[in-house]
Amino acid sequence: MNVSWKDSIYLQREALARMLRAPLARLAEGCAPAWGQCDALDDVLRAHAASVPHCSLLYCVGTDGIQVSNSVAPTGLIPGQFGSDRSQRPYMKEPVPVWGFLLSDAYIGQKDHRPSLTALQAVTRGGGTLGYVGANFDLRNLPVLAALYDEPEDWRQVKGDPAIRGTVFQQCRVESPLDRNLEQALSILEELLTLRGVFQCQVHFSSSVATIWTVDDPFRYRLLDHEALSDPDICLVYPPRAYPADAAIPQQAIARILSMLSVLRLTDPTIYLRVASINLFNGMVSATFSCDGSHYMPHAEFLQKDASFWF
């Protein structure tokens, strides 16, 4: 089963909560007897700071969000923080669960403007809540404990610029240099995708350029302009490579996909393809039309649709 980015966030937060809850609970127990005494709370925070992993700042706040201690950073005590008003910070506006521990949603930090999150642990005495121990975390310092999510394989349609959609029937496709040599250009791209190690290409039909990524140098893209796309010699620049065994798109399907892209580009003068991409490992084809609407779909589903579906 594919894990969405939202599922991945939930699993990451769940793992972080398990890691942080116990040390913060022990810290809160140590703060309860010292509550109301700033110097005593500062001492407790300093004594327990190392026990809260990856923490960038520790402090105590009352239920009203007013800080009742100074702050403790990994470098030591930060004086002058007593009385600071944290009531309007995002984490103070989230309800703390009945079990007394909250791991806030991520937010942009007020001082460093970095993605951050805060854990709050209730400090209790005699059955009542005195306030909270707050622990701030810079997301850069937190370990990633959940697996990287997989991009979903469902057909997704994304609307583009409303200004473009509103004037789509007032425009007409203007033949680009790539259009004039489209059959040969797509044959070159087929060679690169199936035999020359290119695993992703993005074709900008209107501007007559293709962006490609290769398995030999996957972190850098290369641009092929219409001159390169009209010269089969460009294939000599890229060494022969076996078609990836773990590619999600079968080798024999590449020519059919490219042929369908040609149809979508040339069939209708008003609704026409502007940009398309193919990724062998995602198994996906994307298509952005003159109305600025984009489709992301599995290659097999893309090949099931003929021109009558689109036009």
Query: Is the per-residue pLDDT at 123 higher than 70?
Result: yes
Looking at residues 121-139, what average pLDDT do you find?
92
Q: 123 and 71 in one domain? A: yes
Question: For residue 17, what is the enclosing H or E element?
Answer: helix 5-31
CB 134 within 8 A of CB 91: yes
Query: Would you say residue 10 lies in a domain?
Result: yes
Q: 209 and 122 in one domain? A: no
Q: 291 and 173 in one domain? A: yes
Q: By residue range, what is the domain housing residue 223?
A: 156-310
Q: List Cβ neighbours of 299 (8 Å cut-off, separation of 6 or more).
A: 248, 249, 253, 257, 278, 283, 284, 285
Residue 147 binned pLDDT confidence (cut-offs 50, 70, 90) = low
Looking at residues 73-82, what average pLDDT do you find?
90
Q: 130 and 164 in one domain? A: no
Helix (H, G, I), strand (E, B) or coil at 137: strand
State how many domains the chain has: 2
The edge-to-edge listing of strands for the beta sheet with 209-214 is 156-158, 294-298, 284-289, 273-279, 198-204, 209-214, 217-225
Higher pLDDT, 257 or 174: 257
22-71 pLDDT, tens digit each = 999 999 999 999 999 999 999 999 998 899 999 999 999 999 999 999 99
CB 212 within 8 A of CB 196: no
Q: 176 and 87 in one domain? A: no
Distances in Å between the Cα of 193 and the Cα atoms of 161, 199, 248 are 31, 6, 13
Give residue 155's pLDDT. Answer: 66
Q: 171 and 301 in one domain? A: yes
Give residue 122's pLDDT. Answer: 95
Q: 172 and 133 in one domain? A: no
| Mean pLDDT lowest among 73-87, 163-177, 186-200, 218-232 | 163-177
| pTM of this prediction exceeds 0.75 | no
Q: Which residues lie across from 217 on neighbouring strands?
A: 214
130 residue type, one letter? L
Query: Would you say residue 67 lies in a domain?
Result: yes
Looking at residues 83-101, what average pLDDT do you find?
91
Query: Would you say residue 149 lies in a domain?
Result: no
163-213 pLDDT, tens digit each = 555 566 667 778 899 999 999 999 999 999 999 999 999 999 999 999 999
Q: 164 and 42 in one domain? A: no
